[in-house]
Amino acid sequence: MINNIKYKFLLLVVILTAGITSSCNKYLDVKPQDGLVRQDYWKTKEQLDASVAGCYASLIIPTTKKTIPLAKYLFAWGELRADMVQPTNDPTASGQSSSGLSTIQRDELDMLHDDLVSTNSLANWEAIYRTINYCNLVIKYGPDVIKNDNTLTQPTLNAYLAEARTLRALMYFYLLRTFGEVPLKTDATASDTDLKPIAKSSQQAVYNQIIEDLKFGTQNAVPSYGNMADDKGRITKYTAYTILADAYLWMEDYQNAIDACDVVIQSNMYQLLPQGILQGDFFNNVYTNGNSVEGIFEFQYNLQALNPFFAMFANPSHEFNAADWVVAGNLFGIDINDSSNKDVRGSGTSFLESNSNINKFTAGKSVTTSYTHWFVYRYADVLLMKAEALAWVKPGDVNNGTVATNLVKQLRNSRHAFASVNNVTIADPDFTSALSVSTYVFNERAREFAFEGKRWYDILRNAKRNNYANENILLDIVASSALPSKQQSVINKYRDHRSHYLPIFSYEIQTNKLLVQNSFYQ
């Protein structure tokens, strides 16, 4: 599927773009192109294969010219309310007006400044629901194919359905963590008659659907497609287990999270790059080329489908830089006596010390060759999720604390991580303290996944655990990145836990009369 990318891409541009623009004024903007749903389409295995490929293509092809690419939403949702990103152009920091900026630049600033309203375009969930609807189409119509094509076996059909259901679960997992309560739509929107208002479901209902879909994925997806590109660009059994571990961790179901991580670890399908690897080799393997032995699931950008990252991070008018505290060495550390001695994830990989540019998505690329992947999950994620779950499954258990710490050390050794940062030794945590161990994991996740759309979710997950027992981790971080004049108001805002989720985009409230705005923004 991925290897035959030129043919697939041309096919999917026709499939996706023909129907995208026809429904821009419809609820959730999910009406597909007629060729995907007409009764004479779902006849052959090849058509089913193309439809599943359409689900993946929807991850990288923007919905409309007015809609930003999905990966940019995921970056914004996962990074802008946290502390590792800063704008390159912020007139408000010096008391000037932002009126000279574009709408999207103002919306980005508002999110960075924790000043969110329902008209902010970054609260638009259209791109997510479009992918959900393509998955719903496969789930609804895919079983019809086996009635018409005797070359399609039940296990093969189930494997296709597993891809669609796992991808749908991933999309709902993003929605759950970003908006809290969202409409749970599991029926396909195949025509205008299917476009009906739908109310929000509870977080628990959305979570239950996520788990149900992921369990189907773990049982029916293939373990491998036989080549690296497909194994990293399509859903496998181990992709499903990885997302399942993350979902369990989010909902504080720690033993199940550990069990899911163990399946991935014991599969021997993934490994960390070796200790002592040169930074350039690490960077090229993991980021520049993508689909490395560490990759689990990546958005497969290519020369026919470029990513949005060059404009975001590299061109002269780019939008975001690494935060000053990161560039100053307070995350990865700096060896002032030997510039070649460095954490391979630090300056030169995640960012450039010389100009604060976010580097991992754009190094060596131009506006016409910007096709570095978006990294949804890497093997390091599995190791660190297991470590975090071990800290809390039996709080205070010395053995679990020791195993968790050793998992983090395994990763740190492979990255040549510094023993001290900013003259503060990174010491072993107290094995008898779940909070100490999980904080050790949390800090390593910041280094490992810098700018990969995970930071806000990590902050929120750690803050909300045990009924917000560690709320200060969130309050301290948002206060540190707020404008000095607004620090106290930001702290006061985030003490209201309802503010931790985005508002529902105003367009959706206007067009779906059953939707109720998230209570903080009413």
DSSP string, 360-397: TTTTT--TTS--PPEEEEEHHHHHHHHHHHHHHHTTT-
Q: What is the pLDDT of residues 66-118, one digit of tens each?
A: 678 999 999 999 999 999 999 999 998 888 999 999 999 999 999 999 999 99
Q: Is the pLDDT assigned to residue 62 strictly greater than 50?
A: yes
**Which structure tokens are listed for 204?**
């628990």
Residue ranges of E strands in 127-237: 182-183, 200-201
Tens digits of residue pLDDT in 170-220: 999 999 999 999 999 999 986 655 668 999 999 999 999 999 999 999 999
CB of 214 within 8 A of CB of 256?
A: no
Query: Mean pLDDT across the stretch 18-45?
Result: 49
Predicted local distance difference test score (pLDDT) of residue 484: 87
Separation between Cα atoms, residue 385 and residue 365, nearest integer Å: 32
- pLDDT for 482 equals 86
Looking at residue 212, its amino acid is E
Q: How far is CA 447 from the centre of its chain?
A: 16
Alpha carbon separation from 46 to 38, 142, 157, 226, 228 (Å, rounded): 16, 11, 12, 19, 22
- C-alpha pair distances (Å), 477 with each of 83, 319, 431, 456, 458: 6, 22, 25, 10, 12
Q: Are 394 and 400 in contact (CB under 8 A)?
A: yes
Tell me how crowded residue 324 is: count the other CB atoms within 10 A of its CB.
10
pTM of the complete model beyond 0.95: no
Contact between residue 279 and residue 340 where contact means Cβ atoms under 8 Å apart: no
Q: What is the rounded radius of gyration, in angstroms, for the C-alpha atoms of the chain?
A: 22
Beta-carbon contacts of residue 102 (< 8 Å; ≥ 6 apart): none
Cα separation values, 369 from 305, 362, 373, Å = 10, 9, 12
Average pLDDT over residues 338-358: 96
**Phi, psi dihedrals of residue 231, rounded to the nearest 5°:** -65, -25
Q: What is the pLDDT of residues 393-424, one digit of tens each?
A: 999 999 999 999 999 999 999 999 999 999 99
Q: Going by C-beta distance under 8 Å and a sequence separation of 6 or more, which residues neighbour residue 480?
A: 83, 325
Model pLDDT, residue 65: 64
7 vs 226, higher pLDDT: 226
Confidence of residue 17 (pLDDT cuts 50, 70, 90): very low
Output the average pLDDT for the chain.
Answer: 91
In 3D space, the residue among 34, 16, 27 whose CA is nearest the CA of residue 191 turns out to be 34
pLDDT of residue 97: 92
Q: Closest Cα to residue 142, out of 153, 131, 154, 157?
A: 157
At residue 124, the 3 state secondary structure works out as: coil
User: What is the C-alpha to C-alpha distance for residues 289 and 280, in angstroms, rounded to an integer?
Assistant: 12
* Helical pair 70-79 and 455-468, crossing angle rounded to 10 deg: 50
pLDDT tens digits for 7-16? Answer: 344 344 434 4
How would you classify residue 338: left for phi > 0, otherwise alpha for psi between -120 and 50, otherwise beta? beta
Residue 424 main-chain phi, psi, to 5 deg? -110, 120
Domains in the chain (CATH in brackets) are 5-67+127-221 (1.25.40.890), 269-469 (1.25.40.390)
- Check whether 351 has a pLDDT greater than 80: yes
